[in-house]
Amino acid sequence: MVPPQGVIAPHRLERAVRVLRAGGLVAFPTETVYGLGADAENVGAVKRVFEVKGRPPTHPLIVHIGDRAQIDDWAAGVSGPAQHLAECFWPGPLTLVFRRRSRVPLAVTGGLETVALRVPEHPVALALLAAYGGGVAAPSANRFGAVSPTTAGHVREGLGAAVDFVLDGGPCGVGVESTIVDATAEPVILRPGGVAREDLEQALGCSVPVSARSAVRVPGQHPSHYAPRARVLLVEPDQVTAQAELLAAQGCRVGVLLPPEAANLSGSRTGQVMITVPESDADYARQLYGLLREFDRHGCEAIVASAPAPEGLGLAITDRLRRAAGPRRVSSSAGSVPATAGTSTEPWRASTGSGRASRSDLQVQVRPGRESS
Ligand code: TXA
Ligand code: MG
């Protein structure tokens, strides 16, 4: 496959390839989120990815390849259904897990005998992979547990000088990470993502379950992941405004993701940053991480949201919101805001004891569907 020409200056591409060959780290755009790439066969480079991300070495990385014809170079025992999925969805936001070939270092797979492979769809990623020729091991280019980057600016904010080179390909079009399917046996979804479950099922002509608990270690399955600084509270759609009012009344600076059906309720409210989420799940997915970051920028201590219907891309959005709302291992600036509305009746102010100044000056209204990043 020949990537579109002119999407990136040739000298930038050459520099990125040189950095990869020298064992450096290159952040690059994919259609889902930005990746933090290293030569998949250079153990030292791969180890640096883990260090820079602050990610435990047992959590495996995805190997990105430029063409599905390379699948057998990295994976063994590719089944008919798996091959079919690759044909239907590559390049695209689907990651397939196979038995690894020996060229895949255990440093990449976190010690597993399987390897996750993906051909991304972004023209800059494809140009990079074509010019490089090898496999690029790349997690999302954010610190472990934080919100994934959907612009080059997010990468620089999060990782700064720890990345040797950043290829800027503009904002990511899908906005949530790839769907991960374990293809070592009957296909099972390990992580919902940019390819909808329904589309996988249509391609295979059978149901594809979503694994409740994977036997493999998947960081995205950590209870708290994809998390902004603000605590996220997930409530029923008709409870969003009431929950936000309650927290604001307690002096908490609240970000509100208003469901589209509640858009008529929008309006400036004291201490609340209100954003009506886009009607379409594709737009919502594209903007989700940017919106979470926007709330952090506004200094919100809590974000109140509801999950969309878990269909199509709504399944991935729901998954990410749930994980953002999951219990944290370390306390954030939002301290002890209850992780799930209704699980605590502790008043916000009493629970923080922060003596925080009044938030009454904060009255922000962001227009529906606004691009946040
Ligand atoms: O869209 C994406 O998938 C982005 C872009 C950059 O490609 N990448 C990404 O990487 O989200 P990361 O590392 O943030 O998430 C990759 C997921 C992890 O949850 C990891 O555990 C899982 O893929 N994974 C990698 N190798 C695996 C394996 N052998 N078996 C099961 N899961 C695996
Ligand atoms: Mg990630």
The pLDDT of 80-106, averaged and rounded, is 98
**Ligand having the closest approach to the CA of 138:** 1
Atom number in ligand 1 closest to CA 112: 29
Q: Tell me, using a 6 A CB cutoff, whether residue 234 lines ligand 1.
A: no
Task: Indicate the pTM of the whole model.
Answer: 0.87
Residue whose CA is at the smallest distance from ligand 1 atom 18: 218
Asked if residue 19 lies in contact with residue 165, where contact means CB atoms within 8 angstroms, the answer is yes
Atom number in ligand 1 closest to CA 174: 1
Cα 116 to averaged position of ligand 1 atoms, centre (Å): 7
- Describe the strand order of the beta sheet including 302-305 as a list of residue ranges: 231-234, 302-305, 254-258, 272-276, 363-366
Res. 343: pLDDT tops 80: no
Q: Could you report the per-residue pLDDT of 306-325, keeping only the tens digit for each?
A: 999 999 999 999 999 999 99
Res. 355: pLDDT tops 80: no
Cα 38 to averaged position of ligand 1 atoms, centre (Å): 14
pLDDT of residue 266: 64
The pLDDT of 13-34, averaged and rounded, is 98
pLDDT of residue 119: 98
Asked if residue 233 lies in contact with residue 340, where contact means CB atoms within 8 angstroms, the answer is yes
pLDDT of residue 67: 98
Residue whose CA is at the smallest distance from ligand 1 atom 20: 218
Atom number in ligand 1 closest to CA 138: 6
Res. 282: pLDDT tops 80: yes
**Where does 89-235 show beta strands of DSSP type E?**
94-100, 114-118, 136-137, 165-166, 179-182, 188-191, 231-234
Best mutation site among 25, 167, 177, 179 for ligand 1 pocket (most ligand atoms within 8 Å of CB): 177
Q: Tell me, using a 6 A CB cutoff, whether residue 118 lines ligand 1.
A: yes
Res. 151: pLDDT tops 80: yes
pLDDT of residue 145: 87
The pLDDT of 192-208, averaged and rounded, is 98
Instruction: Label residue 2 by pLDDT band (50, 70, 90).
Output: very low
Instruction: Label residue 260 by pLDDT band (50, 70, 90).
Output: confident
Residue type, 344: S
Best mutation site among 109, 174, 218, 226 for ligand 1 pocket (most ligand atoms within 8 Å of CB): 218
Task: Please indicate whether residue 80 or residue 264 has the higher confidence score (pLDDT).
Answer: 80
pLDDT of residue 363: 35
Q: Tell me, using a 6 A CB cutoff, whether residue 140 lines ligand 1.
A: yes
The pLDDT of 183-210, averaged and rounded, is 98
Which of 67-81, 227-241, 346-360 reaches the highest mean pLDDT?
67-81
Residue whose CA is at the smallest distance from ligand 1 atom 21: 218
User: Using CB atoms within 10 A of its CB, is residue 69 exposed (0-12), middle (13-18) or buried (19+)?
Assistant: exposed
Q: Could you report the per-residue pLDDT of 166-182, keeping only the tens digit for each?
A: 999 999 999 999 999 99
Task: Please indicate whether residue 205 or residue 342 has the higher confidence score (pLDDT).
Answer: 205
CA distance 150 to 168: 11
Q: Tell me, using a 6 A CB cutoff, whether residue 197 lines ligand 1.
A: no
Q: Tell me, using a 6 A CB cutoff, whether residue 174 lines ligand 1.
A: no
Asked if residue 170 lies in contact with residue 150, where contact means CB atoms within 8 angstroms, the answer is no
Share of the chain above pLDDT 70, in %: 82
Asked if residue 191 lies in contact with residue 221, where contact means CB atoms within 8 angstroms, the answer is yes
Asked if residue 53 lies in contact with residue 192, where contact means CB atoms within 8 angstroms, the answer is no
Res. 123: pLDDT tops 70: yes
Q: Tell me, using a 6 A CB cutoff, whether residue 114 lines ligand 1.
A: yes
Q: Tell me, using a 6 A CB cutoff, whether residue 179 lines ligand 1.
A: no
Q: Tell me, using a 6 A CB cutoff, whether residue 112 lines ligand 1.
A: yes
Q: Tell me, using a 6 A CB cutoff, whether residue 115 lines ligand 1.
A: yes
Q: Tell me, using a 6 A CB cutoff, whether residue 150 lines ligand 1.
A: no
Cα 226 to averaged position of ligand 2 atoms, centre (Å): 7
Sorted by sequence, the CB contacts under 8 Å of residue 112 that are 6+ apart come out as: 60, 100, 106, 216, 217
Asked if residue 14 lies in contact with residue 127, where contact means CB atoms within 8 angstroms, the answer is no
Q: Could you report the per-residue pLDDT of 213-243, keeping only the tens digit for each?
A: 644 445 555 556 778 889 999 999 999 999 9
